[in-house]
Amino acid sequence: MKLCEINFDGIVGPSHNYAGLSLGNLASARNAGAVSEPRAAALQGIDKMRANLALGLAQGIFLPHPRPDRQWLMDLGTTIDDADPALAANALSASAMWAANAATVSPAPDSADAKCHLTVANLRTMPHRSHEWPATLAQLRLAFAGEGFAVHGPVPPAFGDEGAANHMRVASSHCEPGVEIFVYGISGGAFPARQHIEASKAIARLHRLDPDRVIFAEQSEAAIAAGAFHNDVVAVANERLLFAHELAFADRDSLVTACERLVPGFEYVEVPAAEVPLADAIKSYLFNAQLVTPPDGQPTLIVPTEARETRSVWGWIEKHIGGNGPIRKVEVVDVRQSMANGGGPACLRLRVVADPDMVDPRFMVDNDKLDRISGVIERHWPEEIHHDLQRPALIAKIERARLALLETLGLSELA
């Protein structure tokens, strides 16, 4: 098998709106009630995927979920027409676009059975996300149906699991056995800690990982309280490199020491709070960036435009790049519509180390396929969504748009 890292981006769905549903997500709360632009949001995501392809990276997609989630509303004894507005907003959320929360992934080199394991996240902490997993699981089982994969259902909802947003992997290279870091929370002041250590330990067992090459690291209370609702808001890893804010972890030294012992050539890059305050890191999503290795071997950080617009953040990046630091290049992408709802470049993708030829080709993209997807978005996605989410004409447009995309991609079994 020719293993490489594939980024699977969630296509922003036609129901993308700003209902402010995510407690602890400062951008989501700040923009609650604003007018959203689903068409622009989806096209920004497509442009980000094109930028990945231009870097020479393998690129996949996940599809928008059925919205409104009529089955979920039926289970609650109501319909989209009759539900109170708050419940309707939860049923219409397009948050599945943040594919970093789709699942936790352990590549074949890490598992005892030499399979790539994926466990769909239960996302039980937030009502609008808690009903995502069945539709996500259906896509995972299609995309990764080959014998080289093992796809698991969700951890029982007694314990919260937020997927890859609280999971990192460090290794000499993507193809070599790695060390998997599961980041969990204890407390975040007024905000909930979404990842439970019990869920992380269950996933490590399900994925048949070597206990000596698994680290359970506690996210700092300061980070959660400041609005780092997932670890990927304050830290990101790629191959030998771990890039984090000074206040990301409760016990940074133990984590770094373990990585140095287990991963040859490990490098830790820390951004001091004195240079980039935690608030600036979270506002700019400096760490909710894609840290990738293009074919030229130069570690590259893909950041949102907000990082360039935040003086302390951009100053640190320029100093690091200019000083010949481990991160060699920076690319800037515009995902403002996603950022306004609390998701940066890293939120929009799930990283899977696998042989692309083993993935269902309907979930892999090139520029020609992205052209076809863009055409569907331009024809069918709403240009704007205002506050009245339950208008019958809007609901019909949202449902027709998704079906048009499924038809274009030959994925009618997801209808």
Q: What is the CA radius of gyration of the chain?
A: 20
Residues 6+ apart with CB under 8 A from 386: 35
Q: Which of 117, 167, 320, 347 is catalytic?
A: 347
| Pair 299, 241: CB distance under 8 Å | yes
Kindly report whether the peptide bond that precedes residue 211 is cis, defined as omega within 30 degrees of 0: no
Active site residue 162: yes
| Pair 191, 125: CB distance under 8 Å | no
Q: Which of 230, 245, 320, 380 is catalytic?
A: 230
Beta-strand pair 178-184/167-171: antiparallel
Q: Which of 37, 132, 162, 239 is catalytic?
A: 162
Residues 6+ apart with CB under 8 A from 255: 181, 215, 217, 249
| Pair 237, 212: CB distance under 8 Å | no
Chain mean position to CA 297: 23
- Catalytic positions are 162, 230, 347
